[in-house]
Amino acid sequence: MSLSEMFFLGLLGLVIFGPKKLATVAPQVGKTLARWKKVSSEFQSQLAAEISVTASDRSMGQAPVEAGIQK
């Protein structure tokens, strides 16, 4: 996110919530965004690991495994 985008969002938040409410809302929004970023990162790494395992299984000629049951 660029500096101008952050400035715009801060100004928009100030207009919508006002200075008093913005002081309480901003930390909550920051914590929520941090949680979403962490969950997204974990999901991406898990997906990459699954793709890697599937690709290596296929390269070794093994049947794919879904939900613990081999086909």
* Residue 32 domain flag: yes
> What is the DSSP-derived secondary structure letter of residue 2?
-
Residues contacting residue 58 through CB under 8 Å, at least 6 positions apart: 64
CA-to-CA dists, residue 66 to 43, 45, 47, 55, angstroms: 18, 19, 14, 14
- Domain limits for position 31: 25-58
Residue 65 pLDDT exceeds 90: no
* Residue 65 domain flag: no
Task: Note the Cα 57 to chain centre separation in Å.
Answer: 28
Residue 43 pLDDT exceeds 90: yes
* Residue 69 domain flag: no
Question: 29-33, 36-40, 41-45, 49-53: which range is least confident on average?
Answer: 49-53
- Whole-prediction pTM value? 0.55
Please give the tally of structural domains in the chain. 1
